[in-house]
Chains A and B, each alone.
Chain A
Amino acid sequence: MTWETVIGIETHVELTTASKMFCGCPVDFGAPPNTNVCPVCLGLPGALPVVNGRAVEYAMTIGLALNCSIAPHSVFARKNYFYPDMPKNYQISQYDEPLCVAGHLDVDTDGEVARIGITRVHMEEDTGKSTHVGDGGRIQAASHSLLDFNRAGVPLMEIVSEPDLRSPEQARAFVAELRGVILRLGVSDAKLEEGSMRFDANVSLRPSGSTEFGTKVEVKNMNSLRSLQRALEHEVERQQALLDAGEPVVQETRHWNEDAGTTSGMRSKEEAFDYRYFPEPDLVPVEVDDAWRERVAGALPELPAQARARYASAGLDPVAADLVSRDPAAGTIFEEATAAGADAQTVANWLTGEVTALLRRQDLSLEQSGVTGAGLAELAEMVDDGRLSASAAKEVLAGVVAGEGNPESIAAERDLIQVSDVSALEPVVEEVLAANPDAVAKLHEGDGKVIGFLIGQVMRATGGKADPAAVTAILRGKSA
């Protein structure tokens, strides 16, 4: 029997508001433990929440960008469960009346576009952070745990997809596109490794052609796009093996172990899922009228799909178009560089190639790198007019990232400008030819291979600064 894969994804995104969802504590990452706390986010007796208006706008922005309907009336609810890093032992969330419902996001996998339904987007608050102490931090063997409540109450958006994804690859593409949308909107830094964007997946298999869903398994703990795809591939294989062997799939939550490359079941208590939701009496409903919705909709920036279409029509290859349309920093640099006259594909190649590689090696973000559109345009121009070799250009780029200045000054400083002026190169070529009569003879006999040797001699004579293209042209002229 052949099986069809069915995947739905729940994504959580922390918003980059200045203050928390329900109190004025700052949202900044990396503050000393338990310093960004107040009576509200610590759940002290008597404290009350007040909704951060900007968080609501950000949530609407996400909903509108995902083609959702904005509910004219939505309410907050208490989701009740005990967990030590959740100060009130209930999470303020939204339940049966969320802010955004029934949207979709188009996902392109190798040129095939699928429309993935968005069930809902709702607002809630993040929990604190627990660190497990003893036995290498593994939760099962820890002796005790330490709690830091700085993240408790940070605005968190939950984005729930329909089970419309049909492969791990498509699931990965969906999350990548969703992340692009979030980044373009500027409502979250959506950092997977820092947890400001995280996702869980529901996976099930069903006989091809069936319209009923199989038993689903929730997979957690993937913290990169790659690990998402790997975890899903593994889970699909695991379920397929079970089904092929005639064994049932158990509905459960499984934990992805990145190092082992496997998922393992998590123990869950029988009543763990009775959240006893009820409307949050400390907060009043959110009502969005047409005017408010229109104002937020009118302020939406260009989304990745629109940007990608624009870039594609300008002739950019798909990989480059993806990068500059999903990553707003890359997009800005790209726009600046092309506006400064650089060739679009050249800039795109730089961004997808050497820039990305360099940043990965140095573990830097584009924003931190010092790379600008003007700088890339300058670099591209220098390569284009032969003043920089490809390898010298990489060195100049490294200099830019190291904060040494603009490409022109770095190239000069590091003595990387190559000579392509024919009048300057001509005498050197003459000298080389005079010193190598044998080679000259071969050249005249039409031996093409000898030209490489002669170019090498010229390069040696110029200390490597001659433009090989210019030298070749001169030599060809001599041989004709």
Chain B
Amino acid sequence: MPVEIDIAKVARLARLSLTDEQLERYRVQCEVVLEHAARVQALPTEGVAPTSHPLPRTNVFREDEVAECLDREEVLAAAPDRDGDYFLVPRILDE
């Protein structure tokens, strides 16, 4: 089953800035892989529940207890940019 991808839109959704040439290469490769992957559609699965987990567990909770936090200096040491006690990023355009 041939698959067509609007690769530029997908790249925007995934926040990947790519050149047109890169986009075209990825589009072709992704379509080949997706065509193979689309074989799953051939399998009848009516009434089959999806598995999102190999492990059938439920109700895993933790107690509402406060645990130790990280040291702020250690956290901010990894930041590409900071301003005092904050992480600094370029301006945010939209809410």
A37 within 8 A of B: yes
How far, in whole Å, are A53 and B65 apart by their CA atoms in the complex? 10
How far, in whole Å, are A284 and B57 apart by their CA atoms in the complex? 6
Known interface pairs A50-B60, A145-B89, A147-B86. Does A36 touch B55 (Cβ–Cβ under 8 Å)?
no
A23 within 8 A of B: yes
Known interface pairs A25-B66, A139-B95, A281-B52. Does A34 touch B61 (Cβ–Cβ under 8 Å)?
no
CB contacts (< 8 Å) of B40 on chain A: these are: none
CB contacts (< 8 Å) of A24 on chain B: these are: 62, 65-68
CB within 8 Å of B: which residues of A?
Answer: 17-19, 23-26, 32-39, 42, 50-56, 73, 75, 82, 84, 89, 130-134, 139, 142-149, 220, 255, 266-269, 271, 274, 276, 278-279, 281, 283-287
Closest partner residue, chain A, to B58 (CB atom): A287
CB contacts (< 8 Å) of B15 on chain A: these are: 82, 89
Contact yes or no, A51 B65, CB < 8 A: no
Q: B79-95 toward A: CB 8 Å interface, digit per residue (1/0)?
A: 00001011111111111
How far, in whole Å, are A84 and B87 apart by their CA atoms in the complex? 10
- Nearest Cβ in chain A — how far from B9, in angstroms? 6
How far, in whole Å, are A142 and B66 apart by their CA atoms in the complex? 36
Closest partner residue, chain A, to B51 (CB atom): A279
CB contacts (< 8 Å) of B66 on chain A: these are: 18-19, 24-26
Known interface pairs A34-B75, A52-B61, A281-B52. Does A145 touch B68 (Cβ–Cβ under 8 Å)?
no
Contact yes or no, B61 A132, CB < 8 A: no
- Nearest Cβ in chain B — how far from A373, in angstroms? 30
Contact yes or no, B70 A38, CB < 8 A: yes
B63 within 8 A of A: yes
CB contacts (< 8 Å) of B89 on chain A: these are: 84, 130, 144-145, 147
* CB-defined A-B contacts under 8 Å, sample of 21: A19-B65, A23-B67, A24-B62, A24-B65, A25-B69, A32-B72, A34-B85, A35-B69, A37-B69, A50-B62, A53-B61, A84-B92, A134-B91, A145-B90, A145-B91, A145-B92, A267-B93, A276-B13, A278-B52, A281-B52, A284-B60
- Nearest Cβ in chain A — how far from B85, in angstroms? 5
B45 within 8 A of A: no
- Select A287's contact among B55, B59, B63, B91, beta carbons within 8 Å: B59
- Nearest Cβ in chain B — how far from A454, in angstroms? 68
Extra contacts besides A268-B94, A287-B59 (8): CB < 8 Å: A25-B66, A34-B86, A35-B72, A37-B70, A89-B15, A132-B92, A139-B91, A281-B53
- Nearest Cβ in chain B — how far from A96, in angstroms? 11
- Nearest Cβ in chain B — how far from A443, in angstroms? 73
- Select B67's contact among A19, A42, A268, A274, beta carbons within 8 Å: A19
How far, in whole Å, are A285 and B63 apart by their CA atoms in the complex? 17
Contact yes or no, A271 B64, CB < 8 A: no
B23 within 8 A of A: no
B12 within 8 A of A: yes
CB contacts (< 8 Å) of B92 on chain A: these are: 84, 130, 132, 139, 142, 145
How far, in whole Å, are A132 and B64 apart by their CA atoms in the complex? 33
Contact yes or no, B69 A56, CB < 8 A: no
Contact yes or no, B64 A19, CB < 8 A: yes
- Select A146's contact among B67, B69, B87, beta carbons within 8 Å: B87
